[in-house]
Amino acid sequence: MSSFNITVFVLAASLKPLIHMMALLRERTLFLQSEMSVSESEVNKLQKKLDLIEEELYDLRRAFATKKDLGQVTNGITPNIQQLTKAMKKFEKRDVEFRNWSEEKFMALDQKVQDIDQFICYSLEHRPKGFLATCMFFPLNLTFWTLSGYTPHFVDKHYNK
């Protein structure tokens, strides 16, 4: 046999398996297409969902501040914070001064109360015993003295008309 005959025989022998392989490939392609067939309504639903997600993403990007925006806000707030810090320092200084002043005044007042208490104790110890009776009747004496002071004015107004 010649080389040409052998080549034709090999080609003819390989033609049947090649046709069979093409048929298998066609069947597999049709099967995969039938499995993957998607209706238009499903595609439209998915497209709408995708559009909604993109819109939400756009809104979120607009809503969140960028680094530049935060820098501008920080630059705008910094002078106010510095002013507040200065005001707080002044307030704290005034508060400390007021506390010191009030402490001094309370200490002076406390000292005066102690001095008066000592004076009263000294007076009670060195006064005669009649002083105790005078202190007991002081409210009564004060009432009579007040009434006697108002009596002439009362009599003049009502009886000398």
Residue 25 located in a structural domain: yes
| Cα angle 30-34-38, degrees, rounded to a multiple of 5 | 140
Residue 104 located in a structural domain: no
Measure CA of the first residue to CA of the last residue in the chain; give whole Å.
174
Cα separation, 120 vs 131, in Å, equals 12
**What's the structural domain count of the chain?**
2
82: its two tokens: 């510095």
Residue pLDDT, tens place only, 103-153: 999 998 889 889 888 888 887 777 666 666 777 788 888 788 777 766 555
Mean pLDDT of 48-73: 83
Residue 68 located in a structural domain: no
Residue 73 located in a structural domain: no
Residue 82 located in a structural domain: no
Residue 118 located in a structural domain: no
Residue pLDDT, tens place only, 47-59: 999 999 999 999 8
Residue 140 located in a structural domain: yes
Alpha-carbon dihedral angle through residues 80, 84, 87, 91, given to the nearest 10 degrees: 170
Residue 15 located in a structural domain: yes
Show the domain range for 161.
128-161
Cα separation, 137 vs 98, in Å, equals 44
Q: 73: Cβ–Cβ under 8 A, 6 or more apart, which residues?
A: 65
**For residue 11, pLDDT beyond 80:** yes
Cα separation, 102 vs 95, in Å, equals 10
